[in-house]
Amino acid sequence: MSCHLTFSSFGLLGFGAFGRLIAAHLAPHLPCLIHDPALPDGTALPPGATATSLAEAAGCDLVILAMPVAEMAAACRAVTPHLRPGAVVADVGSVKLAPAAIMQAHLPSHVALVGTHPLFGPQSAKGGIGGRKIAVCPIRGKAHLPIAAFLRARLGLRVILTTPEAHDREAATVQGLTHLIAQALTRMGPLPSRMTTASFDLLMQAAEMVRQDPPGVLAAIESANPFAAPVRTEFLTLVAELDHGFSGPD
């Protein structure tokens, strides 16, 4: 498969919070065909985007899967009859091992596969995505090369080429602990807002960025990542040790 691919359009399967973010930033560069069974009639779409059928969206040069990991296998089976030979299928999930395995198992050999994970979300992207990071994982073929070039040149993203396993190992700490702490702080609320320090304000800003993520994102980060549970265990063990030390001798 050539690494000099050019895309004339892209199909976006899924128009949740992250699907909307993708469409907003990619549609100015490529015609965007969106398919989401839950998309209400009359939904406002960004310029360059059109709601369409599954067959039309899956028939694009580039097909982006923007749905929870739990729904990905069914989506792959549904798009398979409509995929063009030489097309590229990419996911945008928060974990990479599981989507990579699903796409390899369910998508035909005549399409290239790329795993991506934008290391930002709707909250952190409010000020723009230029300079933000995105992980790109080659899974099948070399389509990751032109995709990485496009992301750098057209969107100004900082591309990190990695493997699904290496991604998930780092994400277990980077995302797993962030979401764990954010969920704990949210459940402790209401928290002080008057006499706060700069460090506390930054902590609350970080928690707020992920607090409203949909349940599917949290499930992927904490449950679908095989390295997340050991990281949580280590973190909670260290917290317990610190707590014991602060409590003084028995």
Q: What's the confidence (pLDDT) of residue 1?
A: 39
For the segment 231-245, what is each residue's pLDDT rounded down to a tens digit?
A: 999 999 999 999 999
| Rounded distance between C-alpha atoms, residue 79 and residue 77, angstroms | 6
Percent of the chain predicted with pLDDT > 90: 83
pLDDT band per the 50, 70, 90 thresholds, residue 4? very low
Cβ contacts of residue 142 below 8 Å, gap of 6+? 1, 2, 3, 112
Residue 76 pLDDT exceeds 50: yes
Burial zone of 119 (CB within 10 Å; 0-12 exposed, 13-18 middle, 19+ buried): middle
Residue whose C-alpha is closest to residue 60's, from 11, 20, 94: 11
Lowest-pLDDT range of 107-116, 154-163, 170-179, 214-223: 214-223
Q: What's the confidence (pLDDT) of residue 59?
A: 98
| Rounded distance between C-alpha atoms, residue 173 and residue 45, angstroms | 35
Residue 92 pLDDT exceeds 60: yes
For the segment 182-202, what is each residue's pLDDT rounded down to a tens digit?
A: 999 989 989 999 999 999 999
Residue 5 pLDDT exceeds 60: no
| Rounded distance between C-alpha atoms, residue 75 and residue 58, angstroms | 10
Q: What CATH number belongs to 10-162? A: 3.40.50.720
| 229: region left, alpha or beta (phi > 0 left; psi from -120 to 50 alpha) | alpha
Residue 94 pLDDT exceeds 60: yes
| Rounded distance between C-alpha atoms, residue 191 and residue 128, angstroms | 29
Residue 247 pLDDT exceeds 70: yes
Average pLDDT over residues 32-48: 94
Residue ranges of domains in the chain: 10-162, 170-243
CA dihedral 15, 17, 21, 27 (to 10 degrees): 20
Average pLDDT over residues 109-122: 96
For the segment 199-216, what is each residue's pLDDT rounded down to a tens digit?
A: 999 999 988 888 777 777
Residues 30-64 as b/e (b if ≥16 CB within 10 A, e otherwise) read bebbbbbeeeeeeeebeeebebbebebbbbbbbbb
For the segment 15-30, what is each residue's pLDDT rounded down to a tens digit?
A: 999 999 999 999 999 9
